Amino acid sequence: MSTQASQLLSTPLHQKHIDLGGKIVPFAGWSMPVDYGSILNEAKAVRNDAGVFDVSHMARFVFRGADIAEKLDHALGGCITDQPIGMARYTMLLQDDAGILDDLLTYRIADDEFMLVVNAANRERDWELLTERLSGIECSDLTEDGGGILALQGPESLSVMRKLSGDANFAPDFLALGEIETEFGTLFFARTGYTGEHGYELFPSAEQIVPLWTALMSLDVAPVGLGSRDILRLEAALPLYGHEIHEKITPFDAKLRFGVRGWKTRDFVGGDALRALPETEGYNVMCNGEVVGTICSGAMSVVLGHPIATAYVPKNIDGDFSIDFRGKPLAANCVALPFVPHRSRD
């Protein structure tokens, strides 16, 4: 898709972002807000309070059919047949050689109905592959139906949801799907997110998305752009397609074995290649002066107050680590992930 401004897609909240001073940039064929003045302050708002991202650019696919669970189980890396109705699950779309084509969430709406949310940059390729692998299934791409996705994230997000719903006892389990009654109708939600914080993803209809955004702003929820979203997911050591995961990386490489449950016995695309494997962004990672890997993602951590980065390096390596930053070695420490504790299940 061309990145010419006149050809970029925009979410139903585009004017709202402009009115709030959002810096609009091209992203995966869409005009999206990267920040509203301060990437770091927006990230801090999510860590300390509550923030909302407009992620309506992410692709929403719905699949229906009597044998949809069995067909998705073959089409995707993760086990789908045992996914409970009313729950979400993280998994991946794999190549025949087990390389990761995309990571995604599956939402089981009913026994014969699933929604998948995939990365915007991979929308066309994922749609082509999935519709091919799911022959005989009713397939719908809802990405441009006028609705969208708002990610409400942060330790105060539960309080916000209780105010939206008027339900003081609202407390869904992690990964649960559900509906709340609001002043603008029944709103579908998932107890999910990609920041490591307690959070929700809201799926408003075309009629609901603007009033929902307005309601969140009136509750003093901070608008948050894609720039801080990247910091937050990196602090939580959550992979980003095109960085930590891509076609040359398998779920085993990326330590995402939980996303391919049942891989030893299930029949799925990439399964044979995965079973045959041993169970084992540019700047070079050095150890004792030798190159041992490359940086996948890096950012300034708003929680730790210093730079953080992910990289693939050999197991059990020990010594003095550094990053070759434009010919200058920067001292580094190798630490366990995530960089900050997850609170998404709290």
Q: What is the mean pLDDT of residues 24-53?
A: 98
Q: What is the pLDDT of residue 225?
A: 98
Question: CA–CA separation, 31 vs 167, rounded Å?
Answer: 35
**Residue 62 burial by CB count (10 A; 0-12/13-18/19+): exposed, middle or buried?**
middle
Backbone angles phi, psi at 313, to 5 degrees: -135, 160
Is 90 exceeded by the pLDDT of residue 219?
Answer: yes
Q: Using one digit for the tens of pLDDT, what is the confidence trace for 130-164?
A: 999 999 999 999 999 999 999 999 999 999 999 99
Helix (H, G, I), strand (E, B) or coil at 116: strand
Backbone angles phi, psi at 165, to 5 degrees: -90, -20
Q: What is the mean pLDDT of residues 101-129?
A: 98
Q: Using one digit for the tens of pLDDT, what is the confidence trace for 297-326?
A: 888 788 888 888 888 888 888 899 999 876
- Please, what is the average pLDDT of the chain? 94
Is 90 exceeded by the pLDDT of residue 67?
Answer: yes
User: Residues with Cβ < 8 Å from 249, sequence gap 6 or more?
Assistant: 99, 100
| 27: nearest Cα among 55, 69, 67, 49 | 55
Q: What is the pLDDT of residue 216?
A: 99
User: Which domains, from first to last, does the chain contain?
Assistant: 5-56+145-235 (3.30.1360.120), 57-129+250-280 (3.30.70.1400), 284-332 (2.40.30.110)
Is 50 exceeded by the pLDDT of residue 1?
Answer: no
Separation in Å, CA 337 to CA 117, 239, 241, 340: 25, 12, 18, 8
Is 70 exceeded by the pLDDT of residue 280?
Answer: no
Separation in Å, CA 287 to CA 4, 120, 290, 292: 43, 36, 5, 6
| 77: nearest Cα among 222, 275, 211, 224 | 275
Question: CA–CA separation, 75 vs 82, rounded Å?
Answer: 15
| 220: nearest Cα among 48, 4, 7, 35 | 48
- Provide the token pair at 157: 């997000």
